[in-house]
């Protein structure tokens, strides 16, 4: 009796060798994967502002989903921990069960005990005649059917398809290699995925990959005038490395650029337009809205001061994406000019003290009503130039082809082995002038029955038929 005390290593080994634990890990991974697909992940949404997008698109549940971290499920610590646990479980289960199976098959006897042969589900015997000659003929016929035949004095073991018994462990090996490919993403520079949002003319670095991408022009066309269905959206992309343009391509959907093992896709565009430039007219509300002149403002780089005839318009406050809330006051939701709000100080010959007032193009009368006063001047758009940001998907995975893809191929081969091949064994033994023949397989009993009878009948041996294993066979 083994009284060796269990160690911590033994406890860990038994834990991960448990089928229940393995199934539990798989179920938790499945649940986590389902949670990660309720809403799009952050690297797939058509917006550069995920904190605003989930709340605006999916409401409070979407906002909760984002704030709980489920919008980045597949990079979360808990999901990767489950994957690591599955990795350890696959290794331990494969060793714990695969090694004993290999040893037992390697040590299987040729001269099997007669009682074991008689107990096989497929059994027959040949009495009379030259039993030795029948044994030799049986060996030759089985070799023709690609059985590996081993002989001992008066006994035979014919076997084929042994590898099919290891189909599950080949699947395990494929999954282990695939998971190694997943964790290769932790190697710096091996994996990168992100959405880069670029205004026209803007250049942004791509993570730590050593190069930048510039939006050198964005084309957007719609099927309808209401601009509800995009016909095409394309980007003239330029790659810069060390200050030099090293690659360029007109990106369209499904026509990507590959640079240094990194794929750059035209993935999306921001459906909400932004203000680029605007021509603004200054009006005198106390003189029948008399025009005092115009000025042009660049919303991405506004000037501090503008001259409009005899008047000076000074920018006091600028909110690129203004939000007005009775409780929170005035604030900006982002740094991009989706809804610019500008507070001007206006002075002139008849306005010595600065007249401060707001201009929020997308709010209009509401702002005036909320602020509760009439303005001395009015600021109105004469012309406006809008633009959309392009969304480029950046993907690099150096572990895909050398690690993940072979792992998936090996796992697929394991599935084929496990489901479409059988381990077939035939034992024969001469005992007191009688040739006893038994056979078994791990599956597909009809197949081995038919195959064995095609060998036995021409040799004048009674064909085998399946019997219940609990039925005893008398010698």
Q: How far apart are CA 406 and CA 397, in angstroms?
A: 14
* DSSP element (H, E) containing 431: strand 424-431
pLDDT in tens, 125-173: 998 778 999 999 999 999 999 999 999 989 999 999 999 999 999 999 9
From the list 313, 321, 317, 319, the residue with the least C-alpha distance to 296 is 313
Q: How far apart are CA 130 and CA 213, in angstroms?
A: 85
Q: How far apart are CA 44 and CA 75, in angstroms?
A: 14
Residues of the chain with pLDDT under 70: 1-3, 364-374, 468-475
Q: How far apart are CA 49 and CA 6, in angstroms?
A: 54
pTM for the structure as a whole: 0.78
From the list 391, 394, 427, the residue with the least C-alpha distance to 108 is 427
* Terminal C-alpha separation, the chain: 37
CA distances from 406 to 61, 170, 421 (A): 40, 12, 21
Q: How far apart are CA 225 and CA 444, in angstroms?
A: 64
Are β-strands 203-205 and 212-222 bridged in parallel, bridged antiparallel, or unpaired? antiparallel
Handedness of CA 203, 318, 333, 363 (dihedral sign): negative
Q: 194 is written with which tokens?
A: 């992100």
> Looking at residue 239, what is its pLDDT?
98
Q: 375 is written with which tokens?
A: 């303005």
CA distances from 370 to 135, 327, 356, 373 (A): 104, 12, 15, 8
Q: How far apart are CA 207 and CA 258, in angstroms?
A: 16
pLDDT in tens, 28-87: 999 999 999 999 999 888 888 898 899 989 999 999 999 999 999 999 999 999 999 999
> Looking at residue 364, what is its pLDDT?
55
Q: How far apart are CA 112 and CA 429, in angstroms?
A: 8
From the list 75, 89, 76, 79, the residue with the least C-alpha distance to 176 is 89
Angle (nearest 5°) at CA 180 between 407 and 401: 50
Angle between helix 405-420 and 167-183 (nearest 10): 160
């Amino acid at each position: 009796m083994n009284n060796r005390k269990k160690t911590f290593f033994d406890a860990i080994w038994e834990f991960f060798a448990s089928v229940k634990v393995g199934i539990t890990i798989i179920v938790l991974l499945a649940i986590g994967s389902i949670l990660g697909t309720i809403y799009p992940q952050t690297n797939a949404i058509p917006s550069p502002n995920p904190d605003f997008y989930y709340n605006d698109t999916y409401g409070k549940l979407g906002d909760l989903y984002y704030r709980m971290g489920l919008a980045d499920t597949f990079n979360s610590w808990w999901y990767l921990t489950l994957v690591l646990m599955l990795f350890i479980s696959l290794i331990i289960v494969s060793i714990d069960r695969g090694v004993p199976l290999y040893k037992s098959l390697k040590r299987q006897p040729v001269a099997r005990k007669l009682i074991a042969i008689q107990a096989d589900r497929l059994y027959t015997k040949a009495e009379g005649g030259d039993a030795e000659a029948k044994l030799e003929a049986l060996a030759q016929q089985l070799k023709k059917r690609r059985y590996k035949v081993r002989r001992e004095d008066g006994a035979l073991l014919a076997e084929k398809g042994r590898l099919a018994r290891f189909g599950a462990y080949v699947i395990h090996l494929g999954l282990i290699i695939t998971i190694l490919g997943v964790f290769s993403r932790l190697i710096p520079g091996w994996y990168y995925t992100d959405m880069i949002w670029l205004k026209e003319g803007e250049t942004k670095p791509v993570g730590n990959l050593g190069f930048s991408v510039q939006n050198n022009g964005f084309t957007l066309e719609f099927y309808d005038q209401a601009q509800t269905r995009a016909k095409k959206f394309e980007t003239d992309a330029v790659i810069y490395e060390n200050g030099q343009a090293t690659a360029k391509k007109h990106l369209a959907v499904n026509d990507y650029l590959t640079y240094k093992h990194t794929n750059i896709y035209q993935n999306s565009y921001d459906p909400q337009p932004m203000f680029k430039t605007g021509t603004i007219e200054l009006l005198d509300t106390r003189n029948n809205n008399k025009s005092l002149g115009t000025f042009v403002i660049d919303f991405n780089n506004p000037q501090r001061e503008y001259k409009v005839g005899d008047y000076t318009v000074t920018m006091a406050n600028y909110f690129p994406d203004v939000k007005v809330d009775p409780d929170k006051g005035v604030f900006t939701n982002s740094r991009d000019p989706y809804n610019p709000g500008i507070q001007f100080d206006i002075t002139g010959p008849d306005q010595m003290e600065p007249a401060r007032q707001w201009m929020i193009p997308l709010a209009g009368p509401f702002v005036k009503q909320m602020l509760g006063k009439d303005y001395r001047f009015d600021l109105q758009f004469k012309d406006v130039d809008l633009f959309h940001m392009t969304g480029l998907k950046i993907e690099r995975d150096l572990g895909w082809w050398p690690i993940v893809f072979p792992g998936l191929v090996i796992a697929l081969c394991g599935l084929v082995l496990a489901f479409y091949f059988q381990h077939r064994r035939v034992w024969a033994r001469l005992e007191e002038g009688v040739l006893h023949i038994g056979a078994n397989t791990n599956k597909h009993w009809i197949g081995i029955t038919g195959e064995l009878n095609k060998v036995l009948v021409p040799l004048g041996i009674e064909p085998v038929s399946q019997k219940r294993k609990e039925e005893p066979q008398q010698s």
